[in-house]
Amino acid sequence: MPFVLLGAGLLRFGWFGFNAGSALAASPIAGLAFMTTMLAPAATLVVWTFLDVMRSGKATAVGAATAIVVGLVAITPAAGFISPMSAILLGAIAAVPSYLTLQVRAKTSLDDSLDVLAAHGVGGTVGALLTGVFAEKALNGVADGALYGNPRQLLIQGAAVMAALVYSGVMSFVLLKLINLVVPIRAAMTDEMEGLDVTQHGEDAYIVAGGGVVAATHGEKPGTTPGMVPAPAASTY
């Protein structure tokens, strides 16, 4: 759990450079992208937390981390094109379809442990489409969206989304087939059960020894690495 939250925090911080830095200058557009990148994930987080509480009665840390990523993905296509208030709306709206997709995926056999479909696929699609709704030419100097009298922009965004889906789908299928001829994409079930650190890399990250967990690196033996911490009462590694 600490690593999940640490990773989300690093993403949250780095995404400012990703979006605002795309302006390639310390310009008003960069400032706009910075502000919208801050606000959209905050709105996603609030809505996602409410959805979590409504569904399970609990607000979860993993849900918060996922919500932040969804908000960051959703605002990326719109960051330099919409107003801060629109960014809040975009982030709030993006939370709902991504959350529902995650719940549906959890009931299937789809191998998507990082919920890339819900966060990046659905979140990115919603963000790209809503760019065609909330874009303001007064801010971006390029085009207005449907909300400001230019519904054609929504059609343009939709066409771009479809083109991206077809291109990525075809290329992924072809590349996976070619790679799978050389190296199997999916590890064997026995390898997964033993642990991929050992079977694929020949080393341990964490090993259980003497009732505690020892951080191990480069094949060090149990007990040779300082910093042993108590193991949970009932856990598997």
Which domains, and CATH codes, for the chain? Answer: 2-182 (1.10.3430.10), 189-230 (no CATH)
Q: Say how far apart CA 54 and CA 139 lie, in whole Å.
A: 37
Give me the amino acid identity at 107.
Answer: K
pLDDT tens track of the chain, all 237 residues? 899 999 999 999 999 999 999 999 999 999 999 999 999 999 999 999 999 999 999 999 999 999 999 999 999 999 999 999 999 999 999 999 999 999 999 899 888 888 899 999 999 999 999 999 999 999 999 999 999 999 999 999 999 999 999 999 999 889 888 888 888 778 888 988 888 888 888 888 776 666 555 555 444 444 444 444 444 444 443
CB 136 within 8 A of CB 111: no
Two tokens, residue 234: 């009932």
Q: Say how far apart CA 74 and CA 94 lie, in whole Å.
A: 7
Instruction: Report which DSSP code applies to 164.
Output: H
Two tokens, residue 122: 């659905």
CB 204 within 8 A of CB 198: yes
Count of all residues that appear for the chain in the document: 237
The single residue listed with the structure tokens 């890339």 is 116
CA Rg value for the chain: 22
pTM of the model: 0.80
Q: Say how far apart CA 82 and CA 148 lie, in whole Å.
A: 11
Q: Say how far apart CA 79 and CA 22 lie, in whole Å.
A: 10
